[in-house]
């Protein structure tokens, strides 16, 4: 499989979220290379394999990552009383909705692999939204959410993330 597991586990949920951003960036780069490949080589086996990898990531891991943020990160910002953090949370929720819509259009083009120019346009729009979305999370949102997270919150966050994915939940920090 193309994508390795993030270096951090569910016992380090913020590190895991950051690791997912690295995987998002790799998947977006693969998407852009796929467009270039299609222009020169057409929809050959390599193109199909790359499209399958991009599909797999954004069909499975991408939605889980957004749900992690919507369940555990954005509520902290929204409850903070800080106008800038509240605005950031609202923007990220809107971005998630827009990314979901863009993904459905892009997904259909990746499955078909028959219109490289439409795929290129949709891929550019998808990448452009992530290019503004990810830095906001990495530079403002995740650091703020870490500060706002109650001590017991990290354990609960990691356990919920693991259980939702069907993975064995980490032991609570106090029980180690």
Residue indicated by tokens 């106090």: 174
Residue 3 lies inside a defined structural domain of this protein: no
pLDDT at 5 over 50: no
Q: Percent of the chain at pLDDT above 70?
A: 91
Residue 7 lies inside a defined structural domain of this protein: no
Residue 109 lies inside a defined structural domain of this protein: yes
Mean pLDDT of the chain: 92
Residue 51 lies inside a defined structural domain of this protein: yes
Number of structural domains found in the chain:
1
Domain range for 101 is: 13-169
Between CA 123 and CA 103 the distance in angstroms is 9
Residue 62 lies inside a defined structural domain of this protein: yes
The predicted-structure confidence for 25-38, as pLDDT tens digits, reads as follows 999 999 999 999 99
Between CA 54 and CA 30 the distance in angstroms is 7
The predicted-structure confidence for 82-115, as pLDDT tens digits, reads as follows 999 999 999 999 999 999 999 999 999 999 999 9
pLDDT at 2 over 60: no
Q: What is the pLDDT of residue 173?
A: 56
Q: What is the pTM of this model?
A: 0.89
CATH number at residue 112: 1.20.120.520
Contacts 24+ apart (CB under 8 A), 141-147: 141/69, 141/73, 141/74, 141/77, 141/85, 141/88, 141/89, 141/92, 142/14, 142/17, 142/18, 142/73, 144/76, 144/77, 144/80, 144/82, 144/85, 144/88, 145/14, 145/72, 145/73, 145/76, 145/77, 146/14
Residue 121 lies inside a defined structural domain of this protein: yes
134, 28 in Cβ contact below 8 A?
Answer: no
Q: Is 81 left (phi over 0), alpha (psi -120 to 50) or beta?
A: left
Residue 174 lies inside a defined structural domain of this protein: no
Exposed / middle / buried, residue 10 (Cβ in 10 Å: 0-12, 13-18, 19+): buried
């Amino acid at each position: 499989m193309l994508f390795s597991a993030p270096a951090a586990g569910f016992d380090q949920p913020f590190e895991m979220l950051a690791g997912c951003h690295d995987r998002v960036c790799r998947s977006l780069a693969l998407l852009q290379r796929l467009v270039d490949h299609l222009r020169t080589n057409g929809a050959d086996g390599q193109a199909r394999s790359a499209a399958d990898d991009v599909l797999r990531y954004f069909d499975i891991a991408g939605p889980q990552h957004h749900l992690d943020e919507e369940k555990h990160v954005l509520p902290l910002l929204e409850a903070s009383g800080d106008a800038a953090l509240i605005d950031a949370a609202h923007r990220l929720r809107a971005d998630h909705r827009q990314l979901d819509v863009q993904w459905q259009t892009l997904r259909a083009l990746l499955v078909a692999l028959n219109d490289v120019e439409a795929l290129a346009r949709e891929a550019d729009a998808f990448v452009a939204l992530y290019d503004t979305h990810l830095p906001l999370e990495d530079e403002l949102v995740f650091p703020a959410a870490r500060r706002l997270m109650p001590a017991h919150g990290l354990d609960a966050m990691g356990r919920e993330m693991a259980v939702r994915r069907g993975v064995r939940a980490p032991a609570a920090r106090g029980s180690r």
